[in-house]
Chain A
Amino acid sequence: MNKAVSQSGRLIGQGMVRVDADGKVRGLTRYLNDIDYTGMLHGVVVRSPVARGRFKALVPDPAFDWSSVVVATAEDIPGENVVHMHDRTMPLLAEVGGELLYRGEPVAVVAAKTIELATEAAAHLRVEVEELPPLLTLQDAIAIFKKTPVKFDSMQDQDIVKGDLAKGFAAADDIIEAEYWAGHQEQLYIENQGFTVFPLADGSILCEGSLQCPYFPVHELNDPLQLPPEKIRVRQTPVGGAFGGKEEYPTMLIGYAALPALKSGKPVKITYDRHEDILFTPKRHPVWVRYKTGVKKDGTLTALECDFILDGGAYLTISDVVMFRGILHCALAYRCDNLIIRGRVARTHSFPCGAFRGFGAPQAIWGMESHIDAIAARLGKPPHTYRRQLHVRPGDVTPTGQILSKENGSTACLDLALQHAKFAQKRRQASRGKLRKGQTKYYGIGLSFFAHGAAFTGDGEAKFKAKGRMELALLDDGKPGVNIRVSSTEMGQGVHTIFTQIASDALALDPARIRFPMADTGLVPNSGPTVASRTTMVVGNVVYRASQDLKDQMESFASQRYFRGAKTVLKNSQFAAKSRRPLSFAKVARDMLTEHGPVNGFFEFKLPPDAKWDQVTFKGDSYPGYSWSANIAEVEIDPLTCELAVTRVTAVLDVGRVINPILAAGQVEGGLTQALGYAIMEKMGTGQNGLYDASRLQTYIIPTSLDTPIYDVKFVEYPYSFAPPGGKGLGELPMDGLAPAIANAVESAIGKRLRTIPITPEDLFAALHPAQGDNTP
């Protein structure tokens, strides 16, 4: 059924049909729960019943028949009870005698032949605790931060300093200060989390499941499982959505399943149902951000002071890096010579927050883009003209001292979005709290403008050295072709397709002869996790260069073997030398495999040699490249009920070279929809019982096909020339800035600024009718 465009050499930039779509539309693709494993046990996690307490004992019910049940506790952990994430504080399972730090913290894993039996057995394990008073929410933590800063418990601090803040404020004509809040957000991939762990005869484990980062578990579980990296093999199954949710958390699942698997010698599968998945997997970090800004009458931003505090939950896990990305995006898009940005990660007794598309940037941009509108309003300047005045462009210097190159389409995004959405004209129709003639609803239009740093922060990519391999091999049809061997995972974003396009162009080979098998750490070099908007930019470059390497090797072989050393070129799937009859790719490949054995093209990613970064002072080139976007949201608010509808969203994006415009547009629309939910629907907090208050699909509300506005998505291309084919980050950018665009549109509709998202009818009611309403924060 798949009618992939089968001309080679010019697929980049084309809307090639997804290579994985055929199986998906026919219902043939087998996700983890569609795979039939025989002889497997089902694992169920036993959890702390309190948000904080002393773990006194784990008591099995003597009346229960435990004979066919495997129970694994911290005592069954072969090595040191610690999972390596970004620090070494979090145990795999809590230990008796220690302190339980969040509701739902795992204390044991029960495995049995059926999930029902395992669930029943788990219910017969009593977790005895002595309850201690918890600190549950970011609101509580911020109250401490404001009142008694010394008592505020931060798991990680980082500041960014540029210029002289005091001098900047002294030069200001006006000072504008405000605070912004956002709550948790759930990734809500439609396929829940799950993993199966097989104990193998040599003591190693094979892990199969839904994840983004196959090499994470390989390196994070060595201590507790007492297994070296080569004895933890991870295979990806088709991923039914991830959005960051399957970044760091699958390590934990593998750890939980591995314990009863190693204890019993049988494979153990753990899959969560939706309720458990929502309650006990990481969320986007709630944020409190305070901006204090100094401006001159002409609009010059002379000083910016920012406190950016995330709710990390009970353990750091990866929150430090989320906070780093957050503070790097707090003041990225505008000119300012004097600034201090202070990032903190609050510790609370709640489930550790984790990766979610945007990774700190949406929280930062939410605050900054609201605040820029507030400054513009104070100055009496329209928000778009103020942004046109203040935004950074090539040659400008970022908060960390990076000089923006010509490959930043900031101005182009802003201008095209304004023009395309007719922002200036439409803004004149904004209601500002009073219905205009002909309006039955308050109308508002709002703008946001922002960048997203592509790839790992700072020198992360330089240190990491992403590796990839292009493997000449006989494919599933018995004929020769090329396997893409990188650790990037397909999770819906389309990497299998765009890497096929890139490889096809770089090799000049028919895409039908290229395969991208599921990532398997036993077979793929470590090209890094599928995160950070780095895949197309960094790993895409690795695929491109490794393909060129393979092409060179094959051309050189063909030249020697058939054409007496004459210059030979692989083109249109054929090897051609001047005035010789061309040879098919298949013939050359077969001969080469027979005569050489394994044939591979390799590449290892490097950053430009002049890239500089200081991880201590946060100075230098904070990202290799930046993607840019301007979002414009139009809203209608019903004065009768305060119901809010987002009617139209215009998004212009510079993501560098667009590899596949159809996939890119789809990913942008999906990201905008997720951002729409963040802005106006997806409300979740830590309740007094330590659990998220919205924990089912009936209460955690995401947009449906009836809630999505009309999307108008346009790309401008400023490719990253250092790493052909020149893509920059795309995945996270559409999640970053719609919330403030909507909040700005709401302000333009009702004349009041809301500083907490999601913005619900209840909040609009409280804003419009303060006498009757409660004052929600």
Chain B
Amino acid sequence: MSTITRTWKVNGKPIKVRAPAGRRLLDYLRDDLGLIGAKEGCGEGECGACTVLIDNEPMVSCIVPVGQLADGTEILTIEGVEKKRAGRLLQQAYLECGAVQCGFCIPGMIISSYALLPKNPKPPTQAIRPPLSGNLCRCTG
């Protein structure tokens, strides 16, 4: 085991990290920081329920060891999304369009959607499908 100390920004807030280097980012967020919005659906990088933004890129936090995230890394989780205007609008759209059913995949879905917007601010339906294909949903499909 090796332990790392790092300074990240999580949802805009500076965080001092001290953890085993091999701890999964998902566990660090949920167990150490209490950010339970990211979910574990498979633990094998397949379902996307644990998706968070790492330096603006959506990644599955269940297969990211915390030691690989350098000082200054910026992480955005579902808890931080509503602090951004685009995030709030996106959440509202999910509500109004009936996108939510059981809700378990939704934090990951919203993160992946949020990551798409800067690259493609007004995506047509067909452009939304590929970036969400890494978020499995069994209720709405």
Contacts and interface: CB of A to CB of B under 8 A. Distances in A.
A706 B44 contact: no
A708 B141 contact: yes
Interface string A228-241: 00000000001111
5 contacts: A1-B91, A25-B106, A190-B137, A702-B136, A705-B130
B91 A190 contact: no
5 A-B pairs with least C-beta separation: A27-B37, A673-B141, A492-B102, A240-B104, A24-B103
B133 A25 contact: no
Contact of A188 (B37, B79, B130, B138): B138
B74 interface: no
Contact of B101 (A28, A492, A702, A703): A492
A415 B92 CA distance: 37
Given A27-B79, A190-B41, A190-B47, 17 more contacts: A25-B94, A25-B110, A27-B77, A33-B39, A33-B40, A188-B136, A190-B39, A190-B105, A238-B102, A274-B41, A662-B98, A667-B139, A669-B141, A670-B137, A670-B139, A674-B141, A696-B44
Contacts of B41: 190-192, 274
A190 B49 contact: yes
Contacts of B132: 704-705
A18 B97 CA distance: 10
B107 interface: yes
B49 A25 contact: no
B47 A697 contact: yes
Nearest to A704: B133
B95 A18 contact: yes
B92 A706 contact: no
A709 to B, nearest CB: 10
Interface of B: 30, 35-44, 46-47, 49, 77-79, 81-82, 88, 91-92, 94-107, 110, 128-130, 132-141
A626 B101 CA distance: 25
B103 A34 contact: no
A27 B78 contact: yes
A240 B109 CA distance: 14
A189 B98 contact: no
Contacts of A25: 91, 94-95, 100, 103, 106, 110
Given A190-B136, A240-B103, A30 B36 contact: yes
Interface string A572-603: 00000000000000000000000000000000
A17 interface: yes
Contact of A191 (B44, B104, B140): B104
A29 B110 CA distance: 15
B115 to A, nearest CB: 14
A152 interface: no
Nearest to A663: B98
Nearest to A674: B138
Contacts of B40: 33
Contacts of A697: 42, 44, 46-47, 136
A492 B107 CA distance: 15
A21 B36 contact: no
B30 to A, nearest CB: 8
Nearest to A278: B42
A491 interface: yes
Contacts of A2: 95
Contacts of A20: 100, 103
Interface in A683-701: 696-698
B78 A492 contact: no
A24 B106 contact: yes
B98 A666 contact: yes
A2 B37 CA distance: 19
A33 B104 CA distance: 11
Interface string A702-741: 1111101000000000000000000000000000000000
A708 B136 CA distance: 12
Contact of B141 (A29, A493, A703): A703
Given A27-B36, A670-B140, A673-B141, A241 B46 contact: no
Interface in A173-207: 187-192
A250 B82 CA distance: 35
A151 to B, nearest CB: 39
Contacts of A703: 141
B101 A493 contact: yes
A494 B99 CA distance: 12
A301 interface: no
Contact of B103 (A15, A29, A188, A667): A29
Contact of A239 (B78, B102, B138): B102
A243 interface: yes
Contacts of A243: 138
A665 B98 contact: yes
Contacts of A676: 141
Nearest to B135: A705
B95 A1 contact: yes
A663 B78 CA distance: 23
Given A28-B37, A240-B39, A21 B94 contact: yes
A25 to B, nearest CB: 4
A22 interface: yes
A164 interface: no
Contacts of B130: 705-706
Contacts of B135: 705
A563 interface: no
Contact of B138 (A21, A241, A696): A241
Contacts of A706: 129-130, 133
Contacts of A26: 37, 78-79, 81-82, 91
B14 to A, nearest CB: 21
Contacts of B98: 15, 18, 662-663, 665-666
Contact of B39 (A1, A31, A672, A704): A31
Contacts of B101: 241, 492-494, 666-667, 670
Contacts of B30: 34
B141 A672 contact: yes
Nearest to B103: A24
Contacts of A157: none
A666 B104 contact: no
A273 interface: yes
Nearest to B111: A27
A669 B138 CA distance: 10
A395 B96 CA distance: 41
B56 to A, nearest CB: 19
A274 B100 contact: no
Interface in A297-331: none
Contacts of B133: 704-706
Nearest to B35: A27
Contacts of A187: 138
- Name which of B43, B91, B141 has the most chain A CB atoms within 10 A of its CB: B141
Given A190-B47, A190-B49, A192-B41, A704 B136 contact: yes
B44 A698 contact: yes
